[in-house]
A and B are shown apart, each in its own frame.
Chain A
Amino acid sequence: MGRLTNEEDRFLRPPRWADWLLSRFCPADLEDELQGDLLEMYVYWLKTIGLRGARWRYVLAVMRLIRPLSWPRQQNNYSQPGRQLAEHRTIFSLHPTMIRNYLKIAFRNLTRNKVFSGINLLGLSTGITVCLLIFLFIMNEFSVDNFHKNGKSIYRVMRGIANEGKEVAVSYVSGPYAPALLNDFKGQITQAVRVNPTDALVTIQNKSFHERKIIDVDPNFFTFFSFPLLKGNPATVLADPASVVLTESTARKYFGSIDNALGKIVEIDKNLPVKVTGIVQDVPTNSHLDFDLVLPLENYKDRSYMTAWINNGIYTYVQLAPTVSEEQIERNFSRFMDKHMGQIMKQAGFHFNLSLTPLKAVYFEESVFDGARHGDKKVVYIFLSIAVLILLVACINFMNLSTVRAVERSKEIGVRKVLGAIKGHLIWQFIGESLLLASLSCVISVGLLALVLPFYKQLLGYPLNLSVYALPIVLFLIGIIMVVGFLSGSYPAFVLAAFSPIQALKGKLRLGKGGTSLRQVLVIVQFSISILLMLGTAIGTQQMGYLKNKKLGYNKEQTLVIPIDNNDIYNFILNHKPELLAQSRVEAVSMMSGEPGGFFDGLMFDVEAHPSRWRARTEFADFDFVKTLGLKIIAGRDFSPQYPSDTTQAALINRTAAAKLGWTPDQAVGKWLKNTLRDNTNRTIIGVVEDFNFISLKEAIEPLVIAPNDDRRAALIRLSPGNITATVETIQKMYAKTRPAYPFEYRFLDQQFDQMYQADLRQQTILGVFAGLAIFIACLGLFGLASFSAQQRTKEIGVRKVLGASVGSVVSLLSRDFLKPVCIAILIASPIAWWVMNQWLQRFAYRIEIEWWLFALTGLLAMGIALLTVGYQSIKAALMNPVKSLRSE
């Protein structure tokens, strides 16, 4: 034994935090001796079992000493009654026996009041399930591209073009950018990788597949991004130009198994044999890049998009040095562009500048037109707020029902108080109970989640990988238990704890006026939320219906869209057009650069009598374009084979173009314009077509110039009504006769158009389901309140009936109380819904007017639902035999 020297003291002293714990939780009069003893023991342990053992024992000893049970039961010390009592109680309420008692009481209360606990559990678990679903969705959205190791320093190079004051960013640049960036920003940009999304015919032995998710990349692709390779070395897998990396499922599709695939030869477009050098894991849904095959870009180094600056079609990603900021690079971009593109920009009359988008932001980029996956941050926020709102509705249920139940539990509270429980104990008891209920609901909702997940995946349109989110889900659930437990438990806890024990025991307890009005406020909040969601869904559905049924200005029925992305189909349509038209059911065939609902180039024009260059969308089509789409010529004439010069010297414009240029349709005919990039001579405007919605209805109609040219990206075949399948089969047979390598692929124009709104429609459906659930939860609460109120007023109703009240008057008496808050909720929710939905509608160029009757209808519906919920209880109460209700007690 002995004391610690100063030197020893510094290194060998017992853990400070344990000391702190002891001083914090030890009764004041014991602290001195315990600390002293423990210090002595510590030195003893140090000498007998060493430092580690000593520290360990010290901590253990402190832990055991601060246990309430190891404190002495004190003799009554009447000099300090207050303090004594308080200490005594703290120990008492934390006593294991008491905790067991709390649990038992909570459980008994749950089982005794089956209706209430059923409503509570059902409401809470539904709410939590919805939150979980939304949480999964949000997690998935925000995890996009998170898995790349260098993700923080990776940026995508965007090319911006200034158009009427607005900067429109395009994600495609051409091949020369990447090497030039590496050269000009030496030391600042450490790595660059180019990705060319493309499609090709892939042949394995004698099977051919038309693959649309192919990317051509630089050899450093797999070290730059972190797509995990199952086979092959990331650094060298693409070093040889004659190599290819397949995804797991593509390898299975081609060769049956991964091991089988490695080293096999695959032919690309029947002219480029490549060897499988690596297998990459299937691209996760949370990646904006999506691919099935990865080819070295080296194979295409002589293509124009790899050599010419003006071309585009390639994504370029750069990695910045750790010391360099995004702004530093962007500042020098205009000099970079002047150096490399100055000549071309001057010639073509436009100005480009570059910018960088952080990899994490690529997914949420707005209005970027590229093939990559994109999300909408607004949708994420909408979903987030729905989750919060629904949880709030569920919590309110719980609060209301618990306070109502307080009356029933008043005796228990009274007894507890008389036995010496102070407010704090009761508050904790009730919060503990609600924590317990929340945990129970969480367990149920995990089960529900498993049940509804398949449907949810279908609704979302992509798979969710649950196992990845196991930890976040657990954390989230713990968070929910905490929030819900405290939020919904605190109010009843305080109300219950505030009861006077005498009144509580006498059973004279009535919920005060304050309680009632607060409960009504909460019901109003609940119903406001529900009605808000209902209105949102209704207006959304109306808008989507409007878009679907809107006259687009062209025929979209019975029209096939055939993408022209290979020579086989191009030659077939070009050479067999007369044969196609000879079919009785084929009405018209046209080839064009942009199909309706797809991408339309924006190009610059010189226009007669206009000093500045003018930008318009362009369609390069053959002479049958107007006929195939069924457009209306409002001035001048259509293209015609009678005038062979039309191919190079004529153009059609739409009404908007004429208006933008300051002409009436008739004035426009005969004027000239010139495509600054594609034409050498001026074209005369030979006609004006009526406006038609060639792009999404979210956007207003833009000026369009239709000019014959050889740029062919799609073919439209319009069929006459009747047996469409047979006609398509005939066309397919005709195509097969040309012995093509590519399969015949087609879509229907109207389907394609619907596809544009599919994301919106999906969200609409999900929103609708959630709105329904919110109403369901709110009604559950109302049902509980109504049944309670009916129960409480049994006697009153009995007396009324005895005195001659009719059933109808009793029902209306009981229902009135509940309809009032619903009415107020309608008044509150309607303007909010109007404002929010008006905001949302601004996204669409074509939108419905929000009409007043919708509000009236939704209001009536909400009232109806509420009435139905309350009515059952009211009628039951009103029909009860007064003899029974009056005789009880």
Chain B
Amino acid sequence: MKRAFLGELEEVVLLTVAALQEQAYCASITQTIDQQMARTISFPTVHTTLQRLEEKGFVSSQMGGATAERGGRQKRLFTVTTAGQRALIECRQVRSQLWDQIPTPVLELWGA
């Protein structure tokens, strides 16, 4: 199997799944991203991303409880798998490494 590469969108979605924990399903993820990111993201995009993540083995899913808001329909709840965790951590490490390489004066200049 080729190396599982985590795209930017996938990373955002995966992070949201992790953040939402037991409440992570497609609609809630979309809404969270929609609210917290400065850009709108479409529902189908999230849907396909989740499927891709599942294919890659970064999330697993099971059917969860039905609620009245959804017209009595079940939701597919996502949880981050070990592989997913590792991918996220790896991702974060790579980024912090790069952050660390930025000289401090430059960072100060940026106001970060």
Chain A interface residues toward B at CB < 8 A = 1-3, 32-41, 43-44, 48, 57, 60-61, 64-65, 70, 72-73
Per a CB cutoff under 8 Å, which of B30, B44, B73 touches A65? B44
Per a CB cutoff under 8 Å, which of A32, A35, A37, A43 touches B43? A37
Rounded to whole angstroms, the CA-CA distance of A3 and B71 in the bound complex is 8
Does A40 lie within 8 Å of B27, measured CB to CB? yes
Interface residues on B, range: 20 to 34
Does B44 lie within 8 Å of A37, measured CB to CB? no
Rounded to whole angstroms, the CA-CA distance of A34 and B26 in the bound complex is 8
Does A72 lie within 8 Å of B26, measured CB to CB? no
Task: Determine whether B48 belongs to the interface, using a CB cutoff of 8 Å to chain A.
Answer: yes
Measured CB to CB, the closest approach of chain A to B45, in angstroms, equals: 8
Does A36 lie within 8 Å of B74, measured CB to CB? yes
Does A36 lie within 8 Å of B48, measured CB to CB? no
Which B64-95 residues have a C-beta within 8 angstroms of A? Answer: 66, 68-71, 73-76
Does B55 lie within 8 Å of A65, measured CB to CB? no
Identify whether the interface residues of B are mostly helix, strand, loop, or mixed.
helix
Measured CB to CB, the closest approach of chain B to A88, in angstroms, equals: 16
Task: Determine whether B63 belongs to the interface, using a CB cutoff of 8 Å to chain A.
Answer: yes
Instruction: Kindly list chain B residues whose C-beta atoms are within 8 Å of the C-beta of A3.
Output: 68-69
Instruction: Kindly list chain A residues whose C-beta atoms are within 8 Å of the C-beta of B25.
Output: 33, 37
Task: Determine whether B21 belongs to the interface, using a CB cutoff of 8 Å to chain A.
Answer: no
Measured CB to CB, the closest approach of chain A to B30, in angstroms, equals: 6
Measured CB to CB, the closest approach of chain A to B27, in angstroms, equals: 4
Does A64 lie within 8 Å of B44, measured CB to CB? yes
Rounded to whole angstroms, the CA-CA distance of A371 and B65 in the bound complex is 84
> Which of A1, A35, A38, A60 lies at the interface centre, i.e. has the most chain B CB atoms within 10 A of its CB?
A38
Closest to B61 in A: A33
Task: Determine whether B31 belongs to the interface, using a CB cutoff of 8 Å to chain A.
Answer: yes
Task: Determine whether B42 belongs to the interface, using a CB cutoff of 8 Å to chain A.
Answer: yes
Per a CB cutoff under 8 Å, which of B28, B44, B76 touches A61? B44
Per a CB cutoff under 8 Å, which of A1, A33, A41, A61 touches B73? A33
Rounded to whole angstroms, the CA-CA distance of A36 and B31 in the bound complex is 14
Rounded to whole angstroms, the CA-CA distance of A406 and B70 in the bound complex is 53
Rounded to whole angstroms, the CA-CA distance of A38 and B30 in the bound complex is 11
Instruction: Kindly list chain B residues whose C-beta atoms are within 8 Å of the C-beta of A48.
Output: 34
Closest to B44 in A: A64
Given contact pairs A64-B44, A70-B48, A32 touches B73 in the complex (Cβ within 8 A) = yes
Task: Determine whether B56 belongs to the interface, using a CB cutoff of 8 Å to chain A.
Answer: no
Does A44 lie within 8 Å of B31, measured CB to CB? yes
Known pairs A34-B26, A35-B73, A40-B70; list 9 more (Cβ under 8 Å): A33-B25, A36-B27, A36-B75, A37-B47, A37-B70, A57-B43, A61-B44, A65-B47, A72-B51
Measured CB to CB, the closest approach of chain B to A528, in angstroms, equals: 57
Rounded to whole angstroms, the CA-CA distance of A64 and B69 in the bound complex is 23
Rounded to whole angstroms, the CA-CA distance of A754 and B47 in the bound complex is 79
Rounded to whole angstroms, the CA-CA distance of A647 and B38 in the bound complex is 109
Measured CB to CB, the closest approach of chain B to A56, in angstroms, equals: 12
Measured CB to CB, the closest approach of chain B to A866, in angstroms, equals: 60
Rounded to whole angstroms, the CA-CA distance of A70 and B48 in the bound complex is 6
Does A43 lie within 8 Å of B74, measured CB to CB? no
Rounded to whole angstroms, the CA-CA distance of A879 and B62 in the bound complex is 76
B36-64 interface bits toward A, Cβ cutoff 8 Å, 1 = contact, 0 = none: 00000011100110010011000000010
Instruction: Kindly list chain A residues whose C-beta atoms are within 8 Å of the C-beta of B71.
Output: 35-36, 39
Does A32 lie within 8 Å of B42, measured CB to CB? no
Instruction: Kindly list chain A residues whose C-beta atoms are within 8 Å of the C-beta of B70.
Output: 35-37, 39-40
Does A33 lie within 8 Å of B55, measured CB to CB? no
Given contact pairs A36-B70, A39-B70, A73-B55, A44 touches B47 in the complex (Cβ within 8 A) = no
Measured CB to CB, the closest approach of chain B to A637, in angstroms, equals: 103
Rounded to whole angstroms, the CA-CA distance of A670 and B47 in the bound complex is 109
Does B27 lie within 8 Å of A41, measured CB to CB? yes
Rounded to whole angstroms, the CA-CA distance of A38 and B68 in the bound complex is 13
Measured CB to CB, the closest approach of chain A to B68, in angstroms, equals: 5
Measured CB to CB, the closest approach of chain B to A270, in angstroms, equals: 82
Instruction: Kindly list chain A residues whose C-beta atoms are within 8 Å of the C-beta of B69.
Output: 1-3, 39-40, 43
> Which of B31, B34, B55, B69 lies at the interface centre, i.e. has the most chain A CB atoms within 10 A of its CB?
B69
Rounded to whole angstroms, the CA-CA distance of A65 and B47 in the bound complex is 8
Measured CB to CB, the closest approach of chain B to A238, in angstroms, equals: 65
Closest to B64 in A: A33
Closest to A43 in B: B69
Does B68 lie within 8 Å of A33, measured CB to CB? no
Rounded to whole angstroms, the CA-CA distance of A40 and B44 in the bound complex is 14
Rounded to whole angstroms, the CA-CA distance of A148 and B97 in the bound complex is 82
Given contact pairs A70-B47, A72-B51, A36 touches B66 in the complex (Cβ within 8 A) = yes
